[in-house]
Amino acid sequence: MSKKELAKSLFIQGKSIKDICVLTGLSRQGIYCMKKDDFSKGIDWESLKLAALRDEKDLENKEAMFLNALIGEFERFLESASKNELDIDTLEALNKYAKTYWTIKAPQKVDVKALNLQTCKKTIDS
């Protein structure tokens, strides 16, 4: 394993730059240059680190708790709205709840052609 791969691996594991310097024998500047070089190639160490530190089960639990709270608030809102007539403010609030829920649960649209084109451009440029 090269020093660059080792530094990247340690960074993704959550080690500090100081610890990485000691373990690899690289300077801080060297590590930051490697990180910047990879970023220019489309490899973001920070995103990889964040993804590695997240627990997928924990994220699912937090999403479920948030959606339960959102639905609970929505049900309370509907109860109070049923007592009143549906005026403009009530309809706007209903729209806000629906948009929030849809934003969370809607499948993400990914333009594969645009991503491929962007990757090709980055490859050609580097």
Q: With 90 as the cut, is the pLDDT of residue 66 above it?
A: no
Under the banding of pLDDT at 50, 70 and 90, the label for residue 51 is confident
Q: With 90 as the cut, is the pLDDT of residue 7 above it?
A: yes
pLDDT of res. 56: 67
Q: Which residue is listed with tokens 């340690």?
A: 10
DSSP state of 42: T
Rounded mean pLDDT, 34-44: 92
Model-level pTM? 0.46
pLDDT of res. 91: 75
pLDDT of res. 49: 87
The pLDDT tens digits of the residues spanning 70-93 come to 788 778 777 777 766 667 777 787
Rounded mean pLDDT, 102-109: 68
| CA distance readout (Å), 125 to 3, 23, 36, 40 | 25, 33, 15, 10
pLDDT of res. 53: 75
Q: What angle do CA 27, 32, 38 make, to 5 degrees?
A: 130
Question: What are the φ and ψ backbone dihedral angles of 70, each rounded to 5 degrees?
Answer: -65, -45
Token pair, residue 100, equals 């929030």
